[in-house]
Amino acid sequence: MSMSNQRAQGSVEYLVILAMILIISAVVVSLLSLYPGAGGEMRGNEQASYWSGAQPFGIRDTQQLGTGNITLVLVNHAPRPLTLKTVNLTFGSGIWFANTTRTEFNPGESRTVFIIGGASMPNCSIVSARSFSYSVQIIYDDDPLKDKLQPGSLPLNVACG
């Protein structure tokens, strides 16, 4: 067998292996597209992880009932006391809901904050509703600084309860 035949055989084997890898990749991608919820769950986990460790206020837990109330469990991750002034949740293109009750948080302390909804709030009573995604802004005082803003880099998924 000559040297050029061996090179040709090696090239053919390489191309066959490359084709098999591409076919396997295509099958995997097509199978993943059959389960669109899988990607959403990963995004939800990423958002939950982001908000539970957010600084200075983290959000440990969420729940929404019907169109009436959103419950948030906030925690102060700062090493000093902070005063929560406002939690703003925005849904879609500008419909927003807020809690403006001033609340003192000691370092490491967690508290439950309620946001009262209304007719414009998305409805968790719909059978297919599992959660809704809101943009978050938190306004707080960090003595002596007033009205500091903690904008959220990721939306917050609020679970229907």
Provide the phi-psi class of 11: left if phi over 0, else alpha when psi is between -120 and 50, else beta: alpha
Measuring CA to CA, which residue among 151, 142, 148, 156 is closest to residue 48? 156
pLDDT on residue 130: 84
pLDDT on residue 146: 96
Please check whether residue 48 is in contact with residue 73, taking contact to mean a CB–CB distance below 8 angstroms: no
What sections of the chain are H helices per DSSP?
Answer: 3-33, 36-52
Average pLDDT estimate for 128-153: 92
pLDDT in tens, 33-87: 655 444 445 556 788 889 999 999 999 999 998 877 899 999 999 999 999 999 9
pLDDT on residue 94: 75
pLDDT on residue 36: 46
Tell me the C-alpha distance between 156 and 158, whole Å.
6
Query: Looking at beta carbons, which pairs linking 7-14 to residues 24 or more positions away fall under 8 Å?
Result: none
Tell me the C-alpha distance between 57 and 140, whole Å.
9
CATH H superfamily, domain 43-159? Immunoglobulins (2.60.40.10)
Of residues 13 and 37, the one with the higher pLDDT is 13
Q: Which residues contact 58 (CB under 8 A, 6 or more apart)?
A: 51, 52, 74, 75, 77
For residue 2, is pLDDT > 60?
Answer: no
pLDDT on residue 38: 45
pTM above threshold 0.85? no
Token pair 């992880």 is at which residue? 49
